[in-house]
Amino acid sequence: MRVLACIKRVPITGGRILLTADARAINTQHLGFTMSPHEECGVEEAARMIEAYRGDSVVLTLGPPEAVEQLRDAMALGIDRAIHLQTDGQEWDAEGTASALTDAIRTEEGASGRFDIIFFGNESADSGGFQVGARVAHALGRPLVTGLKKVTLEGSAVRCEQEVEGGRDVYVVPLPAVLTVKEGLNLPRYPSVPGRMRARTRPVAVSTPARPAPRLELVRLAVPAGQGRRAESLGAGAGAAPAVVEMLQKAGVL
């Protein structure tokens, strides 16, 4: 079988978000980068499927040259090879992102065969547009199931569990399918040293698509006002216990 995972490079923002001077982006000068936890679970699931059923797994990203780090991270988790649609660092809107991904998927499938499953994150960690997977699925004419916490192959179909209030809804759809997943789908492995070494030698196919004008146009970003919590000290060490208990009593929970 063939499985694809789509990932996006995002900064690890830590305790406080700092913006660039023009307030159009996060100041990432001192930050590390990662793929979103949702997408990492998609990568892990793709790797496990190919380990179980054999075949070919591919990871795809649209992003700046440095996004090759996240592609290598995915290959360290077991993905066979990568496709990198390189941008000049400018951001794309979700429509533009989806159409570039769709084109790349069509080209890849034309050369190497259809993907049985394409994994996306339910939403990206940074922009949270909730839509790239839906747009790609529609363009390819494939069924889409979203927000999944469990995925099981059943012959030529896939059983999907989606978290909802009061449990999980179940969908069974025929392959090929597009699935968007959430963290908790699985516990991604910690990449082994040999896995990391292997990832360095695995192939990354690079191309540079043209960026269409965005229709959802970013004007500026802002950090929301704090919630005005006062941080009153109840003391230090075990001696603070009585003050804590009094606070809990006042709050009416004890």
Ligand X SMILES: Cc1cc2nc3c(=O)[nH]c(=O)nc-3n(C[C@@H](O)[C@H](O)[C@H](O)COP(=O)(O)OP(=O)(O)OC[C@H]3O[C@@H](n4cnc5c(N)ncnc54)[C@H](O)[C@@H]3O)c2cc1C
Give the separation between CA 90 and CA 209, rounded to whole angstroms.
Answer: 12
Q: Which does 97 bind (CB under 5 to 8 A by kind): another protein, ligand X, none?
A: ligand X
What is the separation of C-alpha 64 from the centre of its chain, rounded to a whole number of angstroms? 16
Residue 82 or 98: the one with the smaller Cβ distance to another protein is: 98
Residue 88 neighbours by CB under 8 Å, 6+ apart: 64
Q: Which does 63 bind (CB under 5 to 8 A by kind): ligand X, another protein, none?
A: ligand X
Residue 17 or 68: the one with the smaller Cβ distance to another protein is: 17
Residue 50 or 67: the one with the smaller Cβ distance to ligand X is: 67
Residue 246 neighbours by CB under 8 Å, 6+ apart: none
The nearest distance, CB 252 to ligand X, in angstroms, is: 26
The nearest distance, CB 152 to another protein, in angstroms, is: 12
Q: Which does 32 bind (CB under 5 to 8 A by kind): ligand X, another protein, none?
A: none
Q: Which does 33 bind (CB under 5 to 8 A by kind): ligand X, another protein, none?
A: none
The nearest distance, CB 145 to another protein, in angstroms, is: 6
Q: Which does 174 bind (CB under 5 to 8 A by kind): ligand X, another protein, none?
A: another protein
Residue 57 or 122: the one with the smaller Cβ distance to another protein is: 122
Are 180 and 122 within 8 A, CB to CB? yes
Residue 204 or 247: the one with the smaller Cβ distance to another protein is: 247
Q: What is the contact surface with ligand X in residues (CB under 6 A)?
A: 6-8, 10, 12, 24-25, 34, 36-39, 60-63, 91-94, 97, 101, 120-121, 123-133, 214, 216-218
Helix, coil or strand: residue 5: strand
Are 191 and 73 within 8 A, CB to CB? yes
Residue 55 or 171: the one with the smaller Cβ distance to another protein is: 171
The nearest distance, CB 195 to another protein, in angstroms, is: 17
Give the separation between CA 49 and CA 4, rounded to whole angstroms.
Answer: 11
The nearest distance, CB 34 to ligand X, in angstroms, is: 5
**Tokens read off for 143:** 């069924």
Are 123 and 100 within 8 A, CB to CB? no
Q: Which does 184 bind (CB under 5 to 8 A by kind): ligand X, another protein, none?
A: another protein
CA-based torsion, 107, 108, 114, 115: positive or negative: negative
Are 10 and 34 within 8 A, CB to CB? yes
If one counts every other C-beta atom within 10 angstroms of the C-beta of residue 221, the result is 13
